[in-house]
Structures are given as structure tokens and as C-alpha cells.
């Protein structure tokens, strides 16, 4: 196994060990953010009756939502054994263990047959991967007419990039993930594999509130900041500086 993958596994195993019931993302529940709300709306539209792959499922936060959104079957894959343990515990706690299967599997070399999934969810895994290997694999396992829906941190804002470099130095991010945050060039790469690319941008300024969201009063400031986001992100030049992107890739090309 490549050294970069070993480092990613160690990082996410450690993160899973420290998992807290206080929240799944920097001490709070991410479902309250406009980006995740929009992502979940897309999934509620496209999930019902489908076999869905939770690609890089981590602790299973999205896997259980996919079931609630109407998926017929959910399969979550990850290389972090500790994360998979947390995911299975979550599924059991929510009474969904018969509807979700969690597998230890490399996202760049999946063991599934071709044309298996109607829908794939990427809940923020791309920065841990080599997309030149991952995207062809995603297209391979998608059925004709299948969809890839995802949410990723975006890598063009100089302030958030500085924060990532600090996180790398303090061990809160791996070197590979810091250097491979999703960017415009990755959207261009995706166009080789999907005929239709739709991208939605979030958190131009509201990301500044994230560290304080464990405090109840911060919710008001988040709401105000997301209103400002919505106004500013109508300006196309500013979109590349968003903190999060939600995307829907359809019309897979290569088989």
C-alpha cells in the first residue's frame, strides 16, 4: 500500500477514536449548514429506491441519512477500520444495520462489478485521493445514467488555505489532504468523465462562524452570514473562494 494511504488511514483511525457525541464536524452537527442542507435536499430527490454507494463513508453520518432518504440499499466503503467501527455502531444505534453494509475497501481500486450503483455519494473524500485514479473507478461502478453527488471543501481561498497549512503543522490534517483540496482544475478533470457537471457554491464568509457553532448564540450569526454568502456568491468571480462546493455529476462517459 502507498505511504500516502497509510498516513490517511492512521489519521482517520485516530480521528475516529476521538469521535465525540458532541458533533461530527469541529464539535457541531454539519446538517445545520446551508451546504449540507442543500446536499441532503439533492439526496432526498435522487435516493428513493436506489442502491447507493457512500464513498469514503467515515463514521457513517451520511450512510444513515441515505436510508432515511429512501435508498433501497446503502454500501459504505472506507479504509479506516476505526471509522468503520463507528459507522457500524451508528447504524445499529439507529436500527439500520440490515439496510447498510460497511466494507473495508480502497476508493481508488474498488472490488465491485461494473454498473453496480445508481447513485454515489462523496461526502468529502476527494482530498484524500488521487482523482486521476478515483474518477475512472467511480464511472466504472456507476450504472448508465447514474449520478455522483458530493460535497467538498474548496481550495482557492487564501485564508482557509492558510488555516489548512497550520492544521498540517499541528497534525490536524495530513500533508496529502492539505495539498489536494478540491479545486477548479479538478472540476475540469471531472468533465473528462461526466457529460454534465453542476456545481453550487457555499460559505464565502460564513465559514468564519464555524469555530463558534457549539455555542447557541452563534446560530443567529451563521444565519446572517449565510444570507451574505447568498448575495455575494451571485458574483461569479467570487465563487472560487467559497469554502464548500456541492456538485452533481451525471452522464458518465467511460465504461
Domain that holds residue 12: 3-252
- State whether residue 100 is helix, strand or coil: strand
The C-alpha cell that represents 135 in the structure block: 474518477
Report yes or no: 16 and 86 within 8 Å, Cβ to Cβ: yes
Those residues with Cβ within 8 angstroms of residue 186's Cβ, 6 or more apart along the chain or in another chain: 126, 131
Q: Rounded distance, CA 53 to CA 56, Å? A: 9
How many domains would you assign to the chain? 1
The C-alpha cell that represents 93 in the structure block: 444505534
Write out pLDDT tens, residues 90-143.
999 999 999 999 999 999 999 999 999 999 999 999 999 999 999 999 999 999
Give the percent of the chain with pLDDT over 70. Answer: 96
Is 162's pLDDT higher than 70?
yes
CATH code, domain with 126: 3.40.50.150
Write out pLDDT tens, residues 38-64.
999 999 999 999 999 999 999 999 999
Write out pLDDT tens, residues 184-222.
999 999 999 999 999 999 999 999 999 888 888 899 999
Name the residue among 22, 30, 61, 44 with its Cα closest to residue 222: 30
Give the percent of the chain with pLDDT over 90. Answer: 82
Q: Which residues of 105-132 are buried (b: 16+ CB within 10 A; e: fewer)?
A: bbbbebeeeeebbbbbbbbbbbbbbebe
Confidence of residue 22 (pLDDT cuts 50, 70, 90): very low
pLDDT value of position 230: 97
Q: Rounded distance, CA 76 to CA 59, Å? A: 10
Amino acid at each position: 500500500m502507498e505511504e500516502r494511504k497509510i498516513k490517511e488511514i492512521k489519521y482517520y483511525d485516530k480521528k475516529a477514536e476521538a469521535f465525540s457525541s458532541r458533533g461530527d464536524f469541529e464539535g457541531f452537527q454539519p446538517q445545520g449548514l446551508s451546504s449540507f442542507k442543500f446536499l441532503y435536499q439533492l439526496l432526498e430527490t435522487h435516493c428513493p429506491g436506489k442502491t447507493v454507494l457512500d464513498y469514503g463513508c467515515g463514521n457513517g453520518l451520511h450512510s444513515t441519512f441515505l436510508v432515511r432518504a429512501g435508498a433501497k440499499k446503502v454500501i459504505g466503503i472506507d479504509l479506516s477500520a476505526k471509522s468503520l467501527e463507528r459507522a457500524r455502531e451508528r447504524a445499529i444505534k439507529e436500527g439500520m444495520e440490515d439496510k447498510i453494509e460497511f466494507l473495508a475497501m480502497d476508493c481508488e481500486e474498488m472490488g465491485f462489478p461494473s454498473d453496480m450503483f445508481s447513485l454515489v455519494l462523496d461526502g468529502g473524500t476527494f482530498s484524500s485521493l488521487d482523482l486521476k485514479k478515483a474518477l475512472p473507478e467511480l464511472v466504472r461502478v456507476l450504472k448508465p445514467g447514474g449520478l455522483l453527488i458530493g460535497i467538498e471543501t474548496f481550495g482557492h481561498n487564501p485564508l482557509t488555505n492558510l488555516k489548512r497549512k497550520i492544521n498540517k503543522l499541528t497534525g490536524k490534517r495530513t500533508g496529502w489532504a492539505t495539498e489536494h483540496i478540491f479545486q477548479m482544475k479538478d472540476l475540469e478533470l471531472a468533465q473528462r468523465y461526466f457529460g454534465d457537471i453542476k456545481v453550487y457554491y457555499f460559505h464565502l464568509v460564513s465559514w468564519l462562524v464555524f469555530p463558534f457553532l457549539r455555542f447557541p448564540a452563534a446560530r443567529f450569526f451563521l444565519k446572517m452570514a449565510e444570507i451574505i454568502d447568498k448575495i455575494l456568491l451571485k458574483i461569479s468571480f467570487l465563487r472560487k473562494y467559497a469554502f464548500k462546493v456541492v456538485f452533481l455529476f451525471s452522464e458518465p462517459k467511460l465504461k
